[in-house]
Amino acid sequence: MARVRIRLAKSSDSHALAELRYRFRTETEPAAETKPRLLRRCASWMKNRFRSGAYPWRCWVLDDGKQLLGHVCVQLFEKIPNPVNDEPELHAYITNFYVVREMRSQGLGKSLLNKVLSWCRARGTDAVILWATPGSKSLYRRCGLVEPTDILSCDTERKNLTAKRLGEANQFVGDLFNSLVDFFVADVLAIESAGRGKGEPRNNDATKIEHEAIGIGHD
């Protein structure tokens, strides 16, 4: 097997990184954007942010000399200056951590993550933050990350989606009620029969909202 090395991404890696980004996100979720459009948009974004000396982004890649096999990105963000001793004024956000399927379970992901964590420590960051998937938590724990008890989050996208679903549910229930009223006025005996028999709905699926818990820890 060819030797795989970890190095900083360059602007010239932007197209390969965009390909991997598409591959990464569509492994578990269907794409809502065409691949050519995403590649153009993502490559342009990465070219500007991963160029040499760029701030506040860094990206490390797994490179076997022929192709990129994985990547991890980190963004530094500043805290407001404070007078407290021994409290660094930078946080780090780790995201876009991915290794292609055929190269997993070989320790490459752990090496990649440790590289980023070492860099964060050298920059004197106060905290390293990421969103973890259930399957990745054991790796993060082995690398020293823990689940804090003092961080709260609000997923605004899901909040908006929940509100939309509630609105749709309310509309459905309202339409159903209006239909039943019309039915009742038209024929009292018919609605009484429907209430006693199989015409009565078994449950109220329209108002059931499912929630997902997101761990603080990757994207």
Whether residues 43 and 128 fall in one domain = yes
Determine, yes or no, domain membership for 219: no
Determine, yes or no, domain membership for 86: yes
Determine, yes or no, domain membership for 50: yes
Whether residues 44 and 73 fall in one domain = yes
Determine, yes or no, domain membership for 147: no
Domain count, the chain: 2
Whether residues 177 and 127 fall in one domain = no
Whether residues 90 and 138 fall in one domain = yes
Whether residues 16 and 105 fall in one domain = yes
pTM score: 0.69
Name residues of the chain where pLDDT drops below 50: 172-173, 176-177, 179-218
Whether residues 117 and 25 fall in one domain = yes
Determine, yes or no, domain membership for 149: no
Choose the final residue of a domain: 96, 115, 142.
Answer: 142
Whether residues 127 and 163 fall in one domain = no
Per-residue pLDDT, 160: 60
Determine, yes or no, domain membership for 67: yes
Per-residue pLDDT, 164: 56
Choose the final residue of a domain: 115, 142, 169.
Answer: 142
- Condensed to tens digits (0 to 9), the pLDDT of residues 99-108 reads 999 999 999 9
**Which residues form the domain of 41?**
5-142
Determine, yes or no, domain membership for 216: no
Per-residue pLDDT, 85: 79
Q: Are 125 and 212 in contact (CB under 8 A)?
A: no
Whether residues 67 and 169 fall in one domain = no
Whether residues 60 and 18 fall in one domain = yes
Determine, yes or no, domain membership for 151: no
Whether residues 188 and 100 fall in one domain = no
CATH number for the domain harbouring residue 31 = 3.40.630.30
Per-residue pLDDT, 156: 76
Choose the final residue of a domain: 108, 142, 176.
Answer: 142
Per-residue pLDDT, 215: 29
Per-residue pLDDT, 170: 55
Per-residue pLDDT, 58: 94
Whether residues 165 and 110 fall in one domain = no
Three-class SS string for the chain?
A: CCCCEEEECCHHHHHHHHHHHHHHHCCCCCCCCCHHHHHHHHHHHHHHHCCCCCCCEEEEEEECCCCEEEEEEEEEEECCCCCCCCCCCEEEEEEEEEECHHHCCCCHHHHHHHHHHHHHHHCCCCEEECEECHHHHHHHHHCCCCCCCCCCCCCHHHHHHHHHHHHHHHHHHHHHHHHHHHHHHHCHHHHHHHHHCCCCCCCCHHHCCCCCCCEECCC
